[in-house]
Structure 1
Amino acid sequence: MNTLRWALDRLTLYLPVLLMGALAMASYLLVRSTPSQSEVVASAVAQHQPDYFMREFAVKTFDAQGQLKSEVKGREMRHYPDTDTLEIDQVVIRSFDEQGHLTTATARQALTNADASEVTLIGDARVLRAATVSPAGKPQPAMSFQGEQLHALVDTERVRSDQPVTLTRGQDQFTADSMDYDNQQQVIEMQGRVRGVLFPGNKP
């Protein structure tokens, strides 16, 4: 097994966790705005059937100054009482950090547990941080994670995938069979068949 550890700048390192945190908050707001379990007629036999849903929805959060902090949109959201989970089809997540830098995530489907501590993007999952300028005035190229599945553990600030992933930063690109990102340790570990292309002048 080959292992690649690549230390990235701080903005890059917080990319997945910021996005998953935005989805966690939006999921919490979705749950709050929908009927409680006691308001739903219980079925005699537990089945994996949604007890409520929302279509063509958008949930936004704002800071104290009224600036948009995050937005979650989807074609349809379903809540399953037997597993207490949410499924969101054709999800689009937009999140802004304190400097106003935009990070966007898209996938065919997002799954989250009851307290939104675990979030999974499934099907053509992509997390993209737009190009920015650091506080020191240094240009930071666009950065993205892409794969069929990205799984985030929000409480422990980890993002994992046991499927092939592609990490792109500017023109530089890495591919691997799996990925384990630890935000607390600020380390990305790419495993399996790891391949990378670095262009002159591009520094992590």
Structure 2
Amino acid sequence: MQVNMAQVKLGTVRTILRLMPLLLMGGLTLLTFWLVQKNTPLPINVIERPRLHEPDYTIKNGALSYLNEQGQTKYRILGKELIHYDDDASIDIVRPRMRSFQPDKAPVTVRAQRGHIDGDLTILDLFDNVEIYRPPQSANETQKASPYMLAKSSYFQVLINDDIITTDKPVELEQGLSVMQSNDGGVFDNVKQSMQLLGTVKGRIEPAQQGTR
């Protein structure tokens, strides 16, 4: 019986020794496969695809409000449709209308056919039949009376943080009975509620009087 057990053990050892190369090769194969899988880029359908510039939601008759440091409304932007894009968080606006509010002054209204706000909500681009309208200003302790102001252009850019509206396109400016044009653009200062035309300016200037509109 002891002889048989010895023979069994000897046979087992021989079998293991014969299989050892196969076991080593199998282990190396598994290790190689694991390393290859670990260092192989994921297929395109597994990797997160880049977000496309496509709308992810639309708001009908929407509004955006910007507050000043005192928590009061500084700008309010309205639109027939506000179309938000997921890739850059920008917003397209159909028929935008912006109201800007300054203490002790009448609100200024800006209208256009199309608008676009960047993802940081700091730049508003306005296109097609854009108008900036400032109503007549009554005299008070800090300013004299002034007529209405209407600036027209095909494009204006609102720099919200800077309280500036600017364009490099031709501008027509009405102030009461005065009418002026510039092909080089202009800058509207929302704090002072005044328009500066750039380059060569043509038109007629009438005596100052507080017009109505």
Superposition TM-score, scaled by structure 2 size? 0.62
What root-mean-square deviation, in Å, do the aligned CA atoms of Structure 1 and Structure 2 show?
3.4
Gaps of 5+ in 1: 1-42
Cα distance in 1, alignment partners of residues 167 and 154 from structure 2: 9
Residue from 79, 88, 92 that aligns with 2:84? 79
Partner residue, 2:115: 110
Cα distance in 2, alignment partners of residues 54 and 47 from structure 1: 20
Is 1:163 matched up with 2:169?
A: yes
Q: Which has the higher contact order (CA 8 A, sep 6+)?
A: 1
Is 1:150 matched up with 2:131?
A: no
Task: Give how far 1:49 is off.
Answer: 0.8
Task: Give how far 1:101 is off.
Answer: 1.0
Partner residue, 1:139: 145
Question: Any idea what the Cα deviations from partners look like across 1:87-123, whole Å, max 9, x if unmatched?
Answer: 1111112233211412111111111112222211111
Cα distance in 2, alignment partners of residues 197 and 138 from structure 1: 22
Q: Which residues of 2 match residues 6-155 of structure 1 at below 5 A?
A: 44-59=49-64, 70-136=75-141, 138-155=144-161
Is 1:200 matched up with 2:211?
A: no
Cα distance in 2, alignment partners of residues 144 and 171 from structure 1: 11
Partner residue, 1:175: 181
Cα distance in 2, alignment partners of residues 131 and 187 from structure 1: 14
Deviates more, 1:122-131 or 1:156-165: 156-165
Structure with greater proportional strand content: 1
Cα separation, partners in 2 of 1:132 and 1:157, compared to 1, 3 Å: closer
Letter aligned with residue 197 of structure 1: R
Cα distance in 1, alignment partners of residues 124 and 132 from structure 2: 13
Cα separation, partners in 2 of 1:47 and 1:65, compared to 1, 3 Å: closer
Highest CA radius of gyration, 1 or 2?
Answer: 2
Cα distance in 2, alignment partners of residues 132 and 174 from structure 1: 20
| Paired-residue identity, % | 22
Gaps of 5+ in 2: 1-47
Cα distance in 1, alignment partners of residues 169 and 66 from structure 2: 32
Cα distance in 2, alignment partners of residues 158 and 139 from structure 1: 22
Superposition TM-score, scaled by structure 1 size? 0.64
